[in-house]
Amino acid sequence: MRRLTRRLVLPVFGVLWITVLLFFWVTKRKLEVPTGPEVQTPKPSDADWDDLWDQFDERRYLNAKKWRVGDDPYKLYAFNQRESERISSNRAIPDTRHLRCTLLVYCTDLPPTSIIITFHNEARSTLLRTIRSVLNRTPMHLIREIILVDDFSNDPDDCKQLIRLPKVKCLRNNERQGLVRSRIRGADIAQGTTLTFLDSHCEVNRDWLQPLLHRVKEDYTRVVCPVIDIINLDTFTYIESASELRGGFDWSLHFQWEQLSPEQKARRLDPTEPIRTPIIAGGLFVIDKAWFDYLGKYD
C-alpha cells in the first residue's frame, strides 16, 4: 500500500476521476440490498458555511503541534513537516483529469457516502488538508458524514477538535487496533449506503467522487478505486500519475501498479472507460456498504 515511498514520494493520494475506475468482480452471487429512500443533506448557504468554519480555530489547532526551528522536519512523519505547515490547508491543486472527464455528466441521484479516514499520530497539517479538500471539492449532498477513526493517538485533540468542522465525526479507539480494525470500526457505525475509504494524508481533486459512486450505483458488487496521484514528500508538489494502470504483484508478492499492455490500450476506445483489475490498493476505494458487510468486510 505504501510502495511509492521507495521513489521518494509521499503516498498522499490525490483522488481523481473516472479515467481509471478500477474494479473487480468478487462473485456473481446476488445479495439482497435494502432500497429505502436516500437521505439527502441540503447544501448550506455561503453564510452557513462561513459560520461552520468560524467555529473551528485552525491556527490554534495547527500551532499546538507546530514544527520547531532546530528540529528535524522529517523525524515525526517521514515527510517534510515544515513544508506541509507552510502550505495552506485550502491550497489549490492542478486539475489533472483528461479533458474528456470534464465533459461527463452524472446522474443527480447518486447515493450519499460515508467517508472513513483512520489515523494514528498523523501530522495535523496533512490531516486537516485532507478533510478540507473533501469539503471543498465534493457536493455536500453526497457526503453523509466524514468519520475520523483515531487509532489511539498520543493526543486525543488531534481528532476531537475537528468535530467542529462540517460533517465530521470523531471515533477514538481505547487502545491500538491497527489500520484494518479501525477502518472496520468506522464502517460499522457508518450511516451512508456506500463507504469511501481515504488515507489521512491525501488531497482529493475536482469531481473526484461522482464517477466512483456512479460505478457502484450501476452495480453494487463493484469495488471502485480512483487514479492515485502523488505528492512529493519534500516539497509537497502535486504530481500527476499515469492513468492507464492496473494493480498487480512483483515476484516478491509486493503490490505494485502495472502499465496496461499495448493490446489492452488499443482496445480502449475512450480514456474515461474503467479498467478491470484483479487487485487494488486496500486503503482507497468506494464500495456498497451492504456488499462490504456481506463479503466479510476486510476479511
> DSSP strand E in 76-234: where?
113-119, 143-150, 168-172, 194-198, 223-224, 228-231
Q: What are the C-alpha distances in Å from 60 to residues 70, 149, 241?
A: 21, 22, 35
Q: pLDDT by residue for the chain (299 residues), tens digit each?
A: 334 343 333 433 333 333 333 333 333 333 333 333 333 334 454 445 556 667 899 999 999 999 999 999 999 999 999 999 999 999 999 999 999 999 999 988 999 999 999 999 999 999 999 999 999 999 999 999 999 999 999 999 999 999 999 999 999 999 999 999 999 999 999 999 999 999 999 999 999 999 999 999 999 999 999 999 999 999 999 999 998 999 999 999 999 999 999 999 999 989 999 999 999 988 899 999 999 999 999 98
List, in sequence order, every residue forming a beta bridge with 288; answer none if it has no partner: 194
How high is the pLDDT of residue 133? Answer: 98
How high is the pLDDT of residue 210? Answer: 98
- Round to whole Å and give the CA distance between 255 and 276: 16
Contact by Cβ (8 Å): 272, 104 = yes
Task: Retrieve residue 219's grid coordinates.
Answer: 452495480
How high is the pLDDT of residue 80? Answer: 99
Neighbour order of strands in the sheet with 194-198: 168-172, 143-150, 113-119, 194-198, 285-288, 223-224
- Map 43-103 to HEC letters: CCCHHHHHHHHHCCCHHHHHHCCCCCCCCCCCCCCCCCHHHHHHCCCCCCCCCCCCHHHHH
The pTM (predicted TM-score) of the whole model is 0.84
How high is the pLDDT of residue 281? Answer: 84
Looking at the domain assignment, is residue 123 inside a domain? yes
Looking at the domain assignment, is residue 40 inside a domain? no
Looking at the domain assignment, is residue 178 inside a domain? yes
Count of the separate structural domains present in the chain: 1
Consecutive H or E run containing 239:
strand 238-239
Looking at the domain assignment, is residue 60 inside a domain? no
Looking at the domain assignment, is residue 92 inside a domain? yes
Looking at the domain assignment, is residue 63 inside a domain? no
Q: What are phi and psi of 150, to 5 degrees?
A: -90, 110
Give the pLDDT confidence of 214-265 residue by residue, as tens digits: 999 999 999 999 999 999 999 999 999 998 999 999 999 999 999 999 999 9
Looking at the domain assignment, is residue 135 inside a domain? yes
CATH number at residue 264: 3.90.550.10
Can you give the residue range of the structural domain that contains 169? 3-28+71-294
